[in-house]
Amino acid sequence: MNTQPDPSKSQALPALQGLRVIEIGTFLSAPFAATLLADFGADVLKIELPKEGDPMRTLGTFPPEGDSGYWWSSIARNKRSVSLDIRKPEGLEILGQLIQSADFLIENFRPGTLARWGITTEWLKDKKPELIVVHISGYGQDGPWRDVPGFDRNAQAFSGLAYVTGEKESAPQQAGLPVCDFNAGLWAAFGAVTAMLGKVRHHETVGNEIDLALYETMIPFLKDMPMRYRHQGIVTERTGNTPDYVSPGGAYLTGSNEWIFISGTGDRVFLRLMVAIGRDDLAQMPIFKLNKDRVTHRPVLDDAINQWLQQRNTDEVLRVFEAHDVPAAKIQSIADLMNHPQVIARGNFVDVPNHDRGDVCITAPVPRLARRPATIRWAGQDLGESTQAILQGELKLTDHQLSQLRDRGVI
């Protein structure tokens, strides 16, 4: 297991240091967007309800004697937790003061929720005209489904992802991970940084507003499905582990009863694959000259590949494919992944101090920058850990004022 690299070797401050993010979000999409910005140096103030906090704290497995799950240590890394009830007038006033020093506000409540608390577009513009606001919701800020609740699984179903996932004769299958939530975080962070770059490049002093729906995060990944339907009326169906647009390729079982993925995409790769399994004669047959013909006659190629695989264990198969430059990989468990020499060499998992509970394993930030890289400076904080430091250090509230706010449940 690797530890964090020495920040002093980066030759420069983190890329986003000096920018401030106010995160008013729960669960995954907005918090993940803020995490990405925090990794690259942005100062993220995570607003959480007093006593309750983000429900993300309660998900997954907990460390011994921990009040929050392991997942929280990762998703809330590099953020400062501020316990503040923004639904109350005093909390809203404090939020308004914090926004005056912010560059971004990221939220993922249902449309209209913030407005009911007094956080309207007009209120935000009054507090900070140049603020960039990122909205993430199930179906977006407008349209007939604006008010329909939506979570990751709903987005997978609505977007068409679940429809094409799974075996042909089985029920549609959700992805094994909350891909729409994570994708929403990626798109939101990209939108925020793009808006900031556009403002700086064009010397603007006004802010921007970003509207992102969870289901929209998958639409750019639908490859040619929309065109096939619009122009030919074809509804793409499930094909399981066998892609319908290329052959040979997909999931195959080795002689040691382990699954691997093989990609035979492209004429040259197909030829190398056939040579690797000792069937270069198939590559010379006219019916396998073009990919569309190989898709039509897929069973013949799959039978040849399966016969060769069943006589060999996974390690031997992968060595042969590597020698012939054939893209193939074992379908790895988390144990396989975390112990793989490539993953270890690239430091994809790091150990970060987790308060007084020892180290916690966290996925390393990506992408890697040669200069101004991302770093993990601390794991997810305890609820409200930075409240007093920020309200006293920045807003100059007194001990007496803080005590009154605590008594009223504002902080």
Q: Of 157, 150, 49, 144, nearest to 109 (Cα)?
A: 150
- Position 9 scores a pLDDT of 52
Question: Model confidence over 194-229: pLDDT tens digits?
Answer: 999 999 999 999 999 999 999 999 999 999 999 999
Q: What are phi and psi of 256, to 5 degrees?
A: -95, 20
Question: Model confidence over 354-377: pLDDT tens digits?
Answer: 887 789 999 999 999 999 999 999
Q: Is the pLDDT of residue 8 over 80?
A: no
pLDDT range class, residue 243, cuts 50, 70, 90: confident
Q: What are phi and psi of 251, to 5 degrees?
A: -95, 135
- Position 181 scores a pLDDT of 97
Q: Which residue has the tokens 């809330």?
A: 76
Span 128-156, average pLDDT: 97
Q: Is the pLDDT of residue 150 over 70?
A: yes
d(C-alpha 2, C-alpha 366), whole Å: 15
- Position 65 scores a pLDDT of 76
Rg (CA), the chain: 25
Q: Return all residues near 52 (Cβ < 8 A) that are at least 6 apart.
A: none
Span 97-108, average pLDDT: 98
Q: Is the pLDDT of residue 351 over 90?
A: yes
Phi-psi group of 45: left, alpha or beta (phi > 0 → left; psi -120 to 50 → alpha; rest → beta): beta
Number of neighbouring beta carbons within 10 Å of residue 318: 17
**Active site residue ranges:** 181
Q: Is the pLDDT of residue 10 over 60?
A: no
pLDDT range class, residue 4, cuts 50, 70, 90: low
Span 295-306, average pLDDT: 96
Q: Is the pLDDT of residue 314 over 80?
A: yes
Q: Is the pLDDT of residue 124 over 80?
A: yes
- Strand, coil or helix: 272: helix
Question: Model confidence over 373-397: pLDDT tens digits?
Answer: 999 999 999 999 999 999 999 999 9
- Position 6 scores a pLDDT of 54
How big is the chain, counted in residues?
A: 411
- Position 207 scores a pLDDT of 96
- Strand, coil or helix: 7: helix
Q: Is the pLDDT of residue 7 over 70?
A: no
d(C-alpha 37, C-alpha 194), whole Å: 12
- Position 2 scores a pLDDT of 55
Q: Of 197, 186, 191, 187, nearest to 210 (Cα)?
A: 191
Structural domains in the chain plus CATH codes: 2-220+367-407 (3.40.50.10540), 249-338 (3.30.1540.10)
Q: Is the pLDDT of residue 57 over 70?
A: yes
Find the helix packing angle between 267-276 and 314-323, rounded to 10°: 130
Q: What are phi and psi of 387, to 5 degrees?
A: -55, -55
DSSP designation for 371: S
C-beta pairs of 403-409 under 8 Å, 24+ apart in sequence: 405/90, 408/88, 408/90, 409/50, 409/51, 409/85, 409/88
What does the DSSP assignment read for 289-327?
SSHHHHHHTHHHHHHHHHHHHTTS-HHHHHHHHHHTT--
- Position 358 scores a pLDDT of 84
Q: What are phi and psi of 35, to 5 degrees?
A: -60, -45
Kindly report the average pLDDT of the chain as a whole number: 94
pLDDT range class, residue 12, cuts 50, 70, 90: confident
- Position 195 scores a pLDDT of 98
State the amino acid at position 10 in one-letter form: S
Span 349-357, average pLDDT: 88
Span 174-184, average pLDDT: 96
Q: Is the pLDDT of residue 238 over 90?
A: yes
Q: Is the pLDDT of residue 153 over 60?
A: yes
Q: Are 207 and 145 in contact (CB under 8 A)?
A: no
Span 9-31, average pLDDT: 90
